[in-house]
Amino acid sequence: MKSTHRLSIVALILVMISLACVRNAFSNEMTDEEKIRGTASVLATQAILNPPRKPGELAPTPTPDKPHTLPTLRSDPEKYYAQAGDTYGKIANDHGITLQELIEENDILDENMLSIGQELDIPAGKPVGKAPSFKVIPDSELVFGPTTTTFSAAGFMEGRQGYLNNYSETVDDIQLAGVEVINKVARDYSVNPRLLLALLEYMGGWVTNPRPAAEQVEFPLGYDDPAYKGLYLQLSFAANNLNRGFYLWQANALGQFILKDGSLIVPDATVNAGTAGVQYFFSKMLGKDAWERAVTDHGLISQYQFLFSYPFDLGMEPLLPRGLRQPKWHLPFEPGVEWSFTGGPHSAWGTGSAWGALDFAPPGDMLGCNTSDDWVVAMADGKIIRANNGAVVEDLDGDGKEQTGWTILYMHIENRDRVERGTIVKAGDRIGHPSCEGGISTGTHLHIARRYNGTWIAADGSIPFVMDEWTSSGRGTEYDGELTRENITIEAWDGRKTENQIKR
């Protein structure tokens, strides 16, 4: 016993020395790649000293997934029309081809001459490899779901000396501390706060390092676009792309990863959606070598184990029970009032989540953002658990948590007359007035979306979105869809038309 105790103390001292070396390196002699990787190089050793299970106990094997059907890679050239801000290099990178391949395909004589609207032939990309089959996280560690109900970002950061603890930022005209920014992004995008913290440490060292390098302060996740400076925008970018990979994988619509250096990688069909989401996010950030390291056993998973636990110890699968069906709901407006169905299935939040949302505009011919006295009403019985910045969230299972059971998001609800947080509502009770508040909106309308266990549920998927027996369906293009009841079909149109009128 005594010798084991001495060995543990020696090991702990060695880890502390390693951490000190890493922190010094952040401000002195780290290479660019090492700065991106943060403290990941020593995490495997640290994780051994902080095991999430009894000594000698084997780690659980991630549940195998049935192989996904991958989209067939394009084999023929496709047309592309240059847009503002494009360069030949950017276009090539965005399509997973080299600049030289683009130049040769289009007989380009001057690489500096590119006009908006110019037609280009994009040759088929040539994959340089296949993604690892290694599973990084379970689906429940990507989603803001049941496993997060007992987790507190503030509690986790208490006593830590990382830069995050002393950071604050103004978001939507409100001053937020660093952990409050984490919580806001987690709630809005429905992404696990543990994953956001792990990425923030892996890419920028913000959890443990009190003095990150200057570029890591400005771009804490390494996405060095000037339009995404600061923690909130960096985390929003991360959450949006984690969601994009996650939900594209669920829909069997993710056929390739185009890495930051333009490398084209074919996914492995056996990974789970959570892993695909992480792989997709890192594809936007890293070149081939750094990407492969990030998504295998000495990458993010080592960071996760050091900070929290082995991620598959934390998992709760499946997030969506077999045979899940939506309860009976009503249309979100008062009886006898005719609204316009303006948007079929589209992204529930941001641009990367499932196509879980539908849009409705109130009566009237006024265009743009105008005041409406018409009412949005509750679609079901429940409790209002969030009501701010245009968003109202209703919890249907009575536990007061967004992460469990069914929740409904009512978006763009005006502050005037808006229902208060904590209110118990019955189906048909007034929620508030439609508006342009919250997010980006070109006209007064209501945006509604569903979640179950924190997972955005597609409005054109296997769990039908039904309101007053009207069932949503899509046509394969975002916002293009229909509502059908018996033999009547209403088509989504932008604006007020005869074809898109609907009422209870």
Give yes or no for a contact between 204 and 162, defined as CB atoms under 8 angstroms apart.
no
Q: Flag whether 323 is in a domain.
A: no
What is the reported pTM? 0.84
Give yes or no for a contact between 414 and 433, defined as CB atoms under 8 angstroms apart.
yes
Instruction: Please indicate, yes or no, whether residues 285 and 367 belong to a single structural domain of this protein.
Output: no
Tell me which of 99, 126, 153 is where a domain ends.
126
DSSP letters, 408-466, are: EEEESB-STTPPPTT-EE-TT-EEE-BBS-SS--SSSBEEEEEEETTEEPPTTSSS--E
Our measurement of the distance from residue 493's CA atom to the centroid of its chain's CA atoms, rounded to an integer in Å, reads: 27
Task: Read off φ and ψ for residue 438, nearest 5 degrees.
Answer: 85, 125
Instruction: Please indicate, yes or no, whether residues 370 and 490 belong to a single structural domain of this protein.
Output: yes
Q: Flag whether 69 is in a domain.
A: no
Measuring CA to CA, which residue among 375, 402, 382, 374 is closest to residue 329?
382
Instruction: Please indicate, yes or no, whether residues 207 and 238 belong to a single structural domain of this protein.
Output: yes
d(CA 358, CA 299): 38
- Specify the pLDDT at position 340: 97
How are beta strands 129-130 and 264-266 bridged, if at all?
parallel
Instruction: Please indicate, yes or no, whether residues 212 and 282 belong to a single structural domain of this protein.
Output: yes
Dihedral (Cα; 447, 452, 457, 459), 10-degree rounding: -60
d(CA 243, CA 455): 10
Give yes or no for a contact between 189 and 350, defined as CB atoms under 8 angstroms apart.
yes
Q: Flag whether 468 is in a domain.
A: yes
Instruction: Please indicate, yes or no, whether residues 203 and 234 belong to a single structural domain of this protein.
Output: yes
d(CA 38, CA 22): 8
Measuring CA to CA, which residue among 336, 379, 342 is closest to residue 360?
342
Instruction: Please indicate, yes or no, whether residues 176 and 296 belong to a single structural domain of this protein.
Output: yes
The string over 329-350, giving b where at least 16 C-beta atoms fall within 10 Å of a residue's C-beta and e elsewhere, is bbbbbbeeeebbbbbbbbbbbb
H-helix or E-strand spanning residue 472 = strand 470-474
Instruction: Please indicate, yes or no, whether residues 116 and 169 belong to a single structural domain of this protein.
Output: no
Instruction: Please indicate, yes or no, whether residues 477 and 344 belong to a single structural domain of this protein.
Output: yes
DSSP letters, 379-422, are: SSSEEEEEEETTEEEEESSSS--TTSSEEEEEESB-STTPPPTT
Measured from the Cβ of residue 374, the count of other Cβ atoms closer than 10 Å reads 16
H-helix or E-strand spanning residue 282 = helix 273-283
- Specify the pLDDT at position 93: 75
Q: Flag whether 442 is in a domain.
A: yes
Q: Flag whether 393 is in a domain.
A: yes
Instruction: Please indicate, yes or no, whether residues 262 and 343 belong to a single structural domain of this protein.
Output: no
**Long-range Cβ contacts of 234-239 (<8 Å, 24+ apart):** 235/181, 235/182, 235/185, 235/196, 235/200, 236/185, 236/189, 236/350, 238/196, 238/199, 238/281, 239/185, 239/186, 239/188, 239/189, 239/191, 239/196, 239/350, 239/352
Give yes or no for a contact between 395 and 379, defined as CB atoms under 8 angstroms apart.
no
Instruction: Please indicate, yes or no, whether residues 289 and 390 belong to a single structural domain of this protein.
Output: no
Query: What radius of gyration, in Å, describes the C-alpha atoms of the chain?
Result: 24
- Specify the pLDDT at position 51: 44
Q: Which two tokens stand for residue 268?
A: 């492995």
Q: Flag whether 370 is in a domain.
A: yes
Note the pLDDT tens digit of each residue in 154-170. 999 999 999 999 999 99
Instruction: Please indicate, yes or no, whether residues 216 and 290 belong to a single structural domain of this protein.
Output: yes
Domain range for 488: 339-502
Q: Flag whether 372 is in a domain.
A: yes
Domain count, the chain: 3
d(CA 191, CA 239): 6
Q: What is the largest CA-CA distance in the chain?
A: 83
Note the pLDDT tens digit of each residue in 111-136. 888 999 999 998 887 888 999 999 99
DSSP letters, 62-128, are: PPP-PPPPPPPPP-S-EEEE--TT--HHHHHHHTT--HHHHHHHHT-S-TT---TT-EEEEPPP---
DSSP letters, 324-353, are: --PPP---SB-TT--EEEEEEEE-SSTTTS
Residue 478's CATH number? 2.70.70.10
- Specify the pLDDT at position 54: 60
Residue 98's CATH number? 3.10.350.10
Mean pLDDT of successive 10-residue segments in the chain (504 residues)?
A: 38 39 35 40 34 55 79 82 89 80 89 91 87 96 97 96 96 95 98 98 96 95 95 98 97 92 92 97 96 96 95 94 96 97 97 97 87 97 97 96 97 98 98 93 94 98 97 95 96 92 95
Q: Flag whether 327 is in a domain.
A: no
Instruction: Please indicate, yes or no, whether residues 250 and 380 belong to a single structural domain of this protein.
Output: no
- Specify the pLDDT at position 1: 38
